[in-house]
Amino acid sequence: MIKNLENFINDLKLKNITIKNVDIEKYLLEKRGNFISKAKYVVLPKNTEEVSYILKQANIFLINIVPQGGNTGLVGGSLANERVVILNLSMMDKIIEVDILNKSVTLEAGISINKLNSYLKKYKLEFPLYLPSYKECSIGGNIATNAGGINAIKYGTTRDLVLGIEMVSGSGEILHDLTSLRKRNIGMDIKNIGIGSEGTLGIVTKASLKLSYIKKYSFNVMIGVNKTNIIQKILKIVNYNFFDYIQAFELMNDESIKIVKDITNIKIKINKIAKYNVLIQFKSNLKNCLQIVKDSIYLMLEKMEKNNNIMFFQIYNNDKIWEIRNAIPEAQKKIGFNLKNDFSVSISKIFDALEKINVAIKKFNKKLISVIFGHLGDGNLHINIIDVGNKNNLKEKQDELKQILVKIIMELDGTFSAEHGIGMLNKKYLKQYYPLNRNMLIKIKEILDKNLILNKNKLM
């Protein structure tokens, strides 16, 4: 096998394909630090044809390939052992075409959201997928994992923003479906085979994406609430009256904000912290209209505060308050082991899920802390359990607790993976709860990747 690997690498060198085998640490360490790859080689193709050649030769030499974008995944989807080669797309980061009237862009899959949106500013356009890792994560990785993010309430997940893709199958065949048409009814939509496939069926090399106009004006409102039925009432009112202006509807519990205030140097005034804190962002290009929205929101919340339905509310005329929300994932890592969860349930069942999960955690170990935050507006919450100071052996018992929490979510017709994907971390739950889906994925993989060289042992 080692001889095959060296022969494979030598073959790629003859084709002048960029290969790295020193200073490759940034390709090996997963963002959370839970997974460390042991691959000896990273190949960096410069175009689709090189990707195709690499995969065709990998089939000949029977070398497993792990596709990689910005390496910002959270479930071990880019994990590679010493006999595996990482194929990183960072050199494929060109913007091919911007169609202003169609509000679309065609590009190579290695480009980051940050680089793309920096380029699009001159057209007053943006790709409206916002993730905390926007500076590093790649479009190809977003597509492969069907990334969600903060603005999903408004624009949907990555799947909803993709018009077409070019993908190289596991066998090295180039599947060209790079359309920018918004209506095209020609049978099954082939692009959806690649979206969310986590690099197990093929490697996305190019994409056509939907764009939106950049909004000039915005404001944010933070609402402190102790009664969950009031949060549902606010969401219903805001959705009904102001949906055209909503960009995000987030939830942060008291522990999540306390950790950020204690651990970070962020200095943003929050008068009080409630059990649950809702953060809503509104945007528009019509300043007068947004002012009407702001005035209406103020009057509504003022009345609710007087009636003791809410604990407090604050309106912010800039986006500084988002520093707190965005700092939560990193801040919680600094105080102890984290059991992180990426759950999704119907919005109407979210607080039923939270109540049952809180009871289960207290029953498991009363000393554990629950950090709850996420995208309430689309039903996706990150319910992370922290063992402060690592005093309660949560790391050793995490599988036991995770199984309990996943069972609660699944019994409420939810899912254990809302936006992070399956990778290595969630494979057993896919097999346990979605056996028919998994079997269908395996059959599709056998067609597109008959030698099973792509991202082996991931997803399925």
Instruction: Please tell me the predicted confidence (pLDDT) of residue 1.
Output: 56
Instruction: Please tell me the predicted confidence (pLDDT) of residue 356.
Output: 97
Instruction: Please tell me the predicted confidence (pLDDT) of residue 310.
Output: 97
* Cα angle, residue 204 at apex, residues 202 and 206 outer, rounded to 5°: 150
pTM for this predicted structure = 0.95
Cα–Cα distance list, 257 to 234, 325, 343 (Å): 21, 8, 20
Instruction: Please tell me the predicted confidence (pLDDT) of residue 65.
Output: 98
Q: Give the domains, in start order, of the chain with CATH numbers.
A: 2-91 (3.30.43.10), 95-213 (3.30.465.10), 217-326 (3.30.70.2190), 335-420 (3.30.70.2740)
Cα–Cα distance list, 261 to 32, 129, 323, 331, 332 (Å): 21, 27, 11, 9, 11
pLDDT tens, the chain, 460 aa long: 567 999 999 999 999 999 999 999 999 998 777 789 999 999 999 999 999 999 999 999 999 999 999 999 999 999 998 889 999 999 999 999 999 999 999 999 999 999 999 999 999 999 999 998 999 999 999 999 999 999 999 999 999 999 999 999 999 999 999 999 999 999 989 899 999 999 999 999 999 999 999 999 999 999 999 999 999 999 999 999 999 999 999 999 999 999 999 999 998 888 789 999 999 999 999 999 999 999 999 999 999 999 999 999 999 999 999 999 999 998 998 999 999 999 999 999 999 999 999 999 999 999 999 999 999 999 999 999 999 999 999 999 999 999 999 999 999 999 999 999 999 999 999 999 999 999 999 999 999 999 999 999 999 8
Answer for the pair 145, 198: CB distance below 8 angstroms, yes or no. yes
5 vs 8: CA distance, rounded Å: 5
